[in-house]
Structure 1
């Protein structure tokens, strides 16, 4: 004898059906938990379980202090070749933008020096940015670049369209090495990305090279888990 379907699964399915039929559209804000619990005749705890399951699946987007919305498709990055964040977002038909939090020239850390093959006397540009797709925060990143590579470029040329700036000045971008891991958002990062502290994030470390195999950019990024996904293509 099969077990009865949990109540929260039934609510999950009903909300999902409303999205699939177009009754709820991408970007729509859902009614409050109180209103939905009354509509479905369940406790707020049961309703919250259904909503969280949909959020975990990437179907709904829970925004701290704002409410719950029907998600757009996750931004996807194909793990082959080297592509800038701007190109990835534009390739999805979305509008990319960024907010620079810090931008300064400093001595590199030991790991930055090793990754970028620098000497102890070299300087680097280290900048923190929040990257957006259609004004929705997607990731927080820390990028480190050898200072001598960007000393003749303006801040805007580096922060807004760095790869394009390099190519315009005769540099040829080569391959990149990427390492991905899962983690939980800290309080600081969760505030930057409008997410709950402890929510799942994807950490990406990427080292990118010029065509001559010289490393020129070391980036540590943290992506909102339910707004971004990586996929491999052989």
Structure 2
């Protein structure tokens, strides 16, 4: 291998880094199991496991109990400098989107949405839940609640981008998004939707969206697989 002077776990780590760059593994094929790999490398499974743990901690590998180890999908990056809808973000990145689930209902809003819209407690709002992601890889579950003052009614074709519907059908131009990002362990419901283990890390992204006139339009929460989403922020310091 040309790196025999390295400690054994570093040899295994380097081997794995080269292995996961192969097209077959980048395309989703599971890595050989630990027994096979340890035999190929002629080292103990404990040493191999140390190398695998390093790549898992770096977000390069995903290990799922009872399934195996595979290469992590490349992260989706979102920037705070010029906010976009989810569909727009993916289009800019050249990512083909698949909609896995769509649920539409009228419900009493969450406390956060009710406060944002400044509406009475007994008013129901349109609620849309969507499981979305790349082809064959769901990585975000969205819940959107809408201000009852806007004419959106749930009969629209939500295969179209949401903000395109608001603009073209109702002349509502969204402008401002106030966001909050936090990390948390996945509960049973979100884990089942995102095809991860309960307790696995997720990112929670909350958005409060207003139109060009300052009217609250949408309160949105997205639960993202932490191995598939990165949020970038660029700040410019004013001169003092």
Alignment RMSD, CA only? Answer: 2.5
The equivalent residue for 1:197 is: 198
- 2:27 is equivalent to residue 27 of structure 1: yes
* Change over 3 Å in CA distance of 1:198–1:8 after alignment to 2: farther
Matches within 5 A, 1:173-188: 173-188=174-189
Matches within 5 A, 1:113-124: 113-124=114-125
Q: Matched residue of 1:156: which SS? A: coil
TM-score by length of 2: 0.83
Q: Matched residue of 1:80: which SS? A: coil
Contact 1:204–1:220 (Cα < 8 Å) also in 2? yes
Deviates more, 1:8-17 or 1:59-68: 59-68
Contact 1:64–1:194 (Cα < 8 Å) also in 2? no
* Change over 3 Å in CA distance of 1:214–1:178 after alignment to 2: same
Contact 1:63–1:194 (Cα < 8 Å) also in 2? no
* Change over 3 Å in CA distance of 1:109–1:17 after alignment to 2: closer
The equivalent residue for 1:217 is: 218
* Change over 3 Å in CA distance of 1:47–1:181 after alignment to 2: same
Structure 2 CA distance for aligned equivalents of residues 178 and 210 of structure 1: 15
Structure 2 CA distance for aligned equivalents of residues 231 and 70 of structure 1: 23
Deviations 1:179-232 (A, max 9, x none): 111111122211211112222111111111111111111111111111110001
* Change over 3 Å in CA distance of 1:91–1:23 after alignment to 2: closer
Structure 2 CA distance for aligned equivalents of residues 210 and 49 of structure 1: 51
The equivalent residue for 1:164 is: 164
Deviates more, 1:103-112 or 1:45-54: 45-54
TM-score by length of 1: 0.85
Q: Matched residue of 1:149: which SS? A: coil
The equivalent residue for 1:11 is: 12
In structure 2, the gaps of 5 or more residues are: 236-240
Deviations 1:97-147 (A, max 9, x none): 223353210122332210222233532112322111233111122211124
* Change over 3 Å in CA distance of 1:9–1:117 after alignment to 2: farther
Task: Give the aligned length.
Answer: 229
In structure 1, the gaps of 5 or more residues are: none
